[in-house]
Amino acid sequence: MKKLFFFISITSLSVSCKKDAALWQVQNLNGNKISAFGHGGMGIAFKYPIDTYESFEPCLRIGAAGTEMDVQISKDSVLVLYHHQKLEDGTSCDGILASKKWPEMQNCVHACPYSTSVNLITATELFDKINNKDELIFTFDCKLYNSGQSNTNYRSIYANTLIKHINNYNIKTNSFIESSDTSFLRMLQNKEPELKLFFYTGNYTDGLAVSKKIKLFGITIDHNYITQEEITNAHSNNLRVTLFNMQTEKQNMDAIQKNPDFMQSDKIIHLLKIFGEYKEQPIKKKFKW
């Protein structure tokens, strides 16, 4: 396998390190390159909340290869971008998202100290505004918060709605689907065998075991809970690895040295600068929904 070398000036990036430069030998299943993704857009420390247009837009504009997004399904089968189960945990509204129809939530705004008009949005609203969809990778972190339906029926409606969305925007080849629910992943695979599925796992052993039962494209795991040796083993089993929960520059650096395929970083600007992919562009005027 061809090897790619990164020469990185640590001093110029203001990263604390004993050496003036570091050399990484990246060898993975992603063309020997680590793709930098945003976490819900710009990440949890950004001035606007994750899973909002105000966070996705700058992330995709400055050079990220793509972004992760938290996806839920409403009572009337609308894909809504939101992390928490309860609306009151992050918006001006109350109740469980999965128990409400979209018209009941379309005026909800995110809790945000910088603005009182950061709207809850649907996946359709976001994707309608992205012009270069074929150049990006979209990771759908599927939050299955069932509310009043049988689990099988709920999973089936969710799976059908997600597949329809992916097909409508012609993004099957550049979409990753994450879930910790193996029944949901298996259902998706039966409905659309070409989907790129990731098992969201708490440890590598469980992730590897699931890959023996379901054809996975990869696993998604907190960078703290997997070693470089385990990632190497994952690659030998034809599993790509996505790491997340990098909230500091040091955590970015530590994660890189484990040779993952993809990184969902809360420090996306720092990560892009390391890879020489940061595009400094003027801030656009605030978008009006």
Does pLDDT of 10 surpass 50?
no
Mean pLDDT value across residues 205-219: 99
Residue 136 contacts residue 60 (beta carbons within 8 Å): yes
Residue 16: pLDDT over 70: no
What confidence score (pLDDT) does residue 147 get?
72
Q: Which residues pair with 139 in a beta bridge?
A: 68, 176
What's residue 23's pLDDT? 52
Taking each helix axis as running N to C, give the angle between helix 228-236 and helix 204-211, from 0 to 180 degrees, rounded to the nearest 10: 0
Using pLDDT thresholds of 50, 70 and 90, give the confidence band for residue 61.
very high
Q: Does the pLDDT of residue 285 top 90, yes or no?
A: no
- Domains of the chain and CATH, by start: 32-86+121-274 (3.20.20.190)
Q: Any idea which of 17-31, 57-71, 243-257 has the lowest mean pLDDT?
A: 17-31
Is 6 a residue whose pLDDT tops 90?
A: no
pLDDT tens digits, residue range 223-278?
A: 999 999 999 999 999 999 999 999 999 999 999 999 999 999 999 999 999 999 99
Look at residue 148 in the predicted model and tell me its pLDDT: 72
Q: Above pLDDT 90, what percent of the chain? A: 85
* pLDDT of 123: 99
Summarize pLDDT for 136-172 with one digit per residue, the tens.
999 999 999 987 778 999 999 999 999 999 999 999 9
Q: Is 264 in a helix, a strand, or coil?
A: strand
Query: Residue 18: which pLDDT band, with cuts at 50, 70 and 90?
Result: very low
Given a cut of 70, whether residue 286 has pLDDT beyond it is no
Q: 66-73 and 121-122 as β-strands: parallel, antiparallel, unpaired?
A: unpaired
Task: Output the pLDDT for position 60.
Answer: 98
H or E element at residue 119: none
- Under DSSP, the state recorded for 257 is T
The larger pLDDT score, comparing residue 21 to residue 203, is at: 203
Q: What is the mean pLDDT of residues 94-120?
A: 95
Nearest to 80 by CA among 137, 48, 119: 119
